[in-house]
Structure 1
Amino acid sequence: MNQSAMLRPDWTPATVALMVLGFVVFWPLGLAMLAYILFGEKFQTFKRDANRKADEAFNWCRSARAGTPFSSTGNVAFDDWRKAELERLDEERRRLDEMRADFDAYARELRRAKDQEEFDRFMRDRRNSPANADQTPPTYPTTA
């Protein structure tokens, strides 16, 4: 680590000033700066270890991906069967997606028809209500 850095995790004038300023402005900032001063070196090693572990996991995933369904196993009969099965499953998925889209359209049309029927009933009831039987406009008392 570069020890000439101005904000190294140590009790330098800059870090102390930032810590005090942090406590004055907003106390969690000061607390964070204090934690950086006290445990900064440990955070650096923790970060380095976490990055190394993540890199190892991603490398494992990349190496495991080499055995994807479309790579050859060396057995031609098995590869042909697997390819046919995957194509059959893809076709089945496409058919199911089409059926789902058809059902969604059907359900949407049912909801629209139900809403239309309810709206028509509301309008019919509104037209036939006793309050609308008298179509004369209301009169308001006037003061003379």
Structure 2
Amino acid sequence: MYSTPTYATATGPMVWLRRAEAWLDARGRGAWIAAMIVGFVVAWPAGLALLAYMIWSKRMFSRNTPVRAMTRPFGGGVSQSSGNRAFDAYKEETLRRLQEEQDSFADFLGRLRDAKDKAEFDQFMADRKGDAPAPAPQDDN
């Protein structure tokens, strides 16, 4: 998972920028937006550069920044123990099962996209050759 690196021996502007980025990430999207507004007020190119970076790095549209991905409101973490071993085991098993379902669904969507891409490519090649379109495969189910 994401961890904030330490820069005890490194110096220079890149170190400062990485520290600033980690500091803003720790405070969430609101801090990034506030920094962008301050950048526009102080020097509009700085605000524009921050806006471009936020869009490029997907910080503008993502729901979770790397640091906040494992936290919940009011300080409760996903891996935090409730104090009840039976409930913690149930929660761990449920989260594992949900992760497996999410992974299998992502695999299914990938296969679906691949099949669609292949069908579109086959149609393109048939049109390019001047052939009649290939019939769509029929499912016997």
Give me the TM-score of the superposition, normalised by structure 1: 0.34
The structure with the largest alpha-carbon Rg is 1
- Structure with the greater relative contact order (CA < 8 A, sep ≥ 6): 1 or 2? 2
Give me the TM-score of the superposition, normalised by structure 2: 0.35
**Whose helix proportion is higher, 1 or 2?**
1
